[in-house]
Amino acid sequence: MSHLRIVGGARLVGRVRVTGAKNSVLKLMAAALLVEGTTTLTEVPDILDVEIMAELLRRMGCDVVHDSEAGSVAVTVPAQLNHRADYDLVRRMRASICVLGPLLARCGEADVAMPGGDNIGSRGLDMHVDGLERLGAEVVSEHGYLIAKRNGPLRGTHIPLEFPSVGATETILMAAITAAGTTVIDNAAREPEIVDICTMLLAMGADIEGVGTSTLTITGVDSLRPVSHRTVSDRIVAGTWAVAAAVTQGDILIENTRAEHLEIALDKLVSAGATVLTGPDSIRVTMDRRPKSVDVVTLPYPGFPTDLQPQFITLNAIADGAAMVTENLFEARFRFVNELARLGADVRTDGHHALVRGKPMLSGAPVEATDIRAGASLVIAGLVAEGVTMVHEVHHIDRGYAGFVGQLQSLGADIQRLSL
C-alpha cells in the first residue's frame, strides 16, 4: 500500500516528456490478436494497465515481452488462441473488454468476463453487444461472462451508434476487419486513439475509409500481417501537465505531444489567463497569476474531454470567480468533489452540473483517489494546498500516469511516495 505525501506551495517549472496513450496502447495490444506473429508497439507507457493487458494476452497463449526501459511491447500471437478472458484480470481493468471483438473475429468465439475498472458510473456494454449481433454474432451473458459466437464469418452491415462510444466503435471495428463484405459504422467515435488503432489496422492490411470522421467504412479482408507501430501520444497526460502548470502558476514545456488533440482544453487555459505556446510536437504552458474561472462542458471528441474534467474542477477550485462544469459522459465522475472538499474546495453538484466557487487557498488534508483522473487532480490540488496533503489509493494514479512522482519532483514539487 503506498500513499503520496505532498507539501503544497511549489511552482512547477521545467520540462516533461509524454509517452504513448494508455487508452490507445491497450487497444493496440488487443488488435495484435487479429493476426498470428509478432506485433511490436513503441512509446508504450510504463503503467499497471499495460501489465494487466500483457497478462491477459499471455493467458490466451500469447508471448508478451514488455521492455519498460525501451518503452516497447512485443506481442507474439500463436496460431491457436485460448478465447477466454478471466474475471480476476478483467475486473482490474475495464479496458479488457477490447479483446471481445478481435477474439470473436479470430477464434469464432469469445468468453470475456464483464469488466469492473474505474468507479465512474454504470458504463454499459449494450452498444458493443448490439454491434456484434448486427454483424451476425450470437451474444449471451452467463455467470458474469459475455459469450459471443459466430457461425461462419461475421457479415458486414450498417451499424448506427446511438452515441459515439469509444469502446463500442473499437469492438465493432476490430470485429469487422475480417468480416465478409462492408461494414459502415455511423456516429463512430473520432478520438485520436481511434485514429491510432485505424492507422495500425491499415498498416496490417485492413481496408478502412473515413478514418478520423464519424463514418467508418470497413471492407473485410482475408488476411492481415503483423506490424510495428508507434503509439499516439497521451493527450490526457499532456493536458494534466498543462493544468498543473496553470494551477501552480508555473512554466512547463510538455514534449512529444500534439496540441491539435487538445484544442478546446488549451483554449480554456488561455481563457483562465495562461500563456500557451505550441510547437509541432510540444506545448508550453506558463501562468503568472491566479487563474480565472472557466466553464467546461464535456463531450465526445473533438469536444472537451471527460478525462480532463476533474483537473479543471481543481483549477476552478482555486480560481478567481465561479464556474459551471457539466459532465455528459460519466455521471459518477463528480464523486471526487467530496475529496476535493476535504481540501476546502467549494463545489456543489446537481446531477450533471457542478458549480465551483474559487477560493484563494486550499488547505492540506488526507484524501482518497477515486479513479485515475480524480487521483491526478487531487495531487494537483495538494500542490497548491497550504500544508501537507496525503493522497491514498494511489494505485488508481499508477494505472494511468507513468513515473508521475519522479516527474513532479523534477519540476520542483515536494512530493514523496510512502509505503506503509
Binding to ligand EPU by residue 118, rule CB under 6 A?
Answer: yes
Among 306, 309, 311, 389, binds ligand EPU (CB under 6 A): 306
**327 touches ligand EPU by CB under 6 A:** no
Contact pattern from residue 351 through residue 380 relative to ligand EPU, giving x for each residue in contact according to CB under 6 A and a dash for the rest: ---------------------xx-------
d(CA 44, CA 24): 10
C-alpha cell read off for 327: 459532465
Residue with Cβ nearer ligand EPU (203 or 332): 332
Instruction: Kindly tell me which residue out of 50, 99, 103, 127 binds ligand EPU, with binding defined by CB under 6 A.
Output: 127
Strands 72-77 and 37-42: antiparallel
Does residue 163 bind ligand EPU (CB under 6 A)?
yes
Q: Are strands 207-209 and 215-219 parallel, antiparallel or unpaired?
A: antiparallel
* Of 379, 216, 190, 393, the residue nearest 303 (C-alpha): 190
Q: Does 197 bind ligand EPU (CB under 6 A)?
A: no
Question: Closest residue (Cβ) to ligand EPU?
Answer: 167
Contact status, residue 100 vs residue 112, Cβ threshold 8 Å: yes
| Rounded least distance, CB 22 to ligand EPU, Å | 6
CA triple 242-321-352, angle to 5 deg: 75
Which of 78, 124, 160, 303 touches ligand EPU (CB under 6 A)? 124
Contact window for ligand EPU (CB under 6 A) among 81-89, 166-174, 241-249, 316-324 = 166-174
Per CB under 6 A, 196 contacts ligand EPU = no
Q: Single out the residue of 330, 334, 401, 404 in contact with ligand EPU (rule: CB under 6 A).
A: 330
Looking only at the bridges linking them, the beta strands covering 84-85 and 63-67 are unpaired
CB of 386 to ligand EPU, least distance (A): 29
Among the listed residues 220, 223, 229, 157, the one whose alpha carbon sits nearest the alpha carbon of residue 186: 157
Instruction: Pick the piece of the chain touching ligand EPU (CB under 6 A) from 10-18, 81-89, 116-124, 208-216.
Output: 116-124
Residue 313, interface with ligand EPU (CB under 6 A)?
Answer: no
Q: At what angle do helices 192-204 and 166-176 cross, to 10 degrees?
A: 10
Neighbouring C-alpha atoms within 13 Å toward the C-beta of 116? 10
Question: Can you read off the three cell numbers belonging to residue 353?
Answer: 452540473
Q: Is 307 in the site for ligand EPU (CB under 6 A)?
A: yes
CB of residue 223 to ligand EPU, shortest distance in Å: 28
> Residue 148, interface with ligand EPU (CB under 6 A)?
no
Taking every pair of Cα atoms in the chain, the longest distance, rounded to a whole number of angstroms, is 64
Closest approach of ligand EPU to the CB of residue 124, in Å: 4
Q: Which residues are catalytic?
A: 118
Q: Can you tell me which of 66, 92, 106, 128 binds ligand EPU, judged by CB under 6 A?
A: 128
Residue 165 within binding range of ligand EPU, rule CB under 6 A: yes
Whether the link from the prior residue into 164 is cis, omega within 30° of 0, is no
> Which amino acid does the sequence have at 162?
E
- Closest of 124, 83, 127 to residue 103, by C-alpha: 83
Q: How far apart are CA 310 and CA 296, in angstroms?
A: 10
